[in-house]
Amino acid sequence: MKKIIISAVAKNGVIGRSNGKIPWHSKEEFQHFKNTTLGFPALMGRLTFGTLGKPLKGRLNIVITRNNKLSYDFTDLKIFNSLHSACSFCEKQNYDKIFIIGGAKIYGQAIKIADEMIISEMDFETDGDVFFPEIDENVWKIKTREKKDGFEVLFYVRENIEN
């Protein structure tokens, strides 16, 4: 099972604001996110789920929290207390891939264990105080780039240490 990070990142590394908002609106980037993730589990931090307000359609939504008492009244949503336990669950369900959709705290942990990253590099810098973690170029290699309207999609793979 491939663990894939997906994120939209401004040129200065900003992914959001601490009020929970993403400081831009790109219909095409949203469509790319939807087309890519549809049908697969979407793992996210509790704060990111809070910004969505309701589950993403057509995907099993998995919310990560340390709060054992957290519950939501939604179908298509599961809650786990760690990224590890969420990944183990998905592995047992025989998913080919899962998407880790943010936010910064979850990306910071997932970047150590993910197999691939699909990063929409937006064409601009913007104000914000939530950042994507540093990408170690010794570990992550860009395999393809795809130019879109207002952003570029970078496909990263974790470099196999033996290669």
Ligand X SMILES: NC(=O)c1ccc[n+]([C@@H]2O[C@H](COP(=O)([O-])OP(=O)(O)OC[C@H]3O[C@@H](n4cnc5c(N)ncnc54)[C@H](OP(=O)(O)O)[C@@H]3O)[C@@H](O)[C@H]2O)c1
Length of the chain: 163
3-state helix, strand, coil in the chain (%, to 5): 20, 35, 45
DSSP tag of 19: T
Choose the stretch contacting ligand X; rule: CB under 6 A; options: 35-43, 47-55, 92-100, 145-153: 47-55
Q: Which is nearer to ligand X, 36 or 65 (CB)?
A: 65
Establish if 67 lies at the interface with ligand X (CB under 6 A).
yes
The residues, ordered by sequence, that sit 6+ positions from 65 with a Cβ below 8 Å of its Cβ are 45, 46, 79, 80, 81
Is 104:17 a contact under the CB 8 Å cutoff? no
Q: Is 104 in the site for ligand X (CB under 6 A)?
A: yes
Number of residues located near ligand X, criterion CB under 6 A: 29
* Only segment of 34-42, 75-83, 133-141, 151-159 that touches ligand X (CB under 6 A): 75-83
Minimal distance in Å, beta carbon 93 to ligand X? Answer: 20
Judged by CB under 6 A, the chain residues 124 through 143 that form the site for ligand X are: 130
If 0-12 CB within 10 Å is exposed, 13-18 middle and 19+ buried, where does residue 18 land?
A: exposed
Stretch that binds ligand X, among 54-62, 86-94, 102-110, 140-148 (CB under 6 A): 102-110
Residues that bind ligand X (CB under 6 A): 7-8, 15-17, 20-22, 44-48, 51, 64-67, 81-83, 101-106, 109, 130
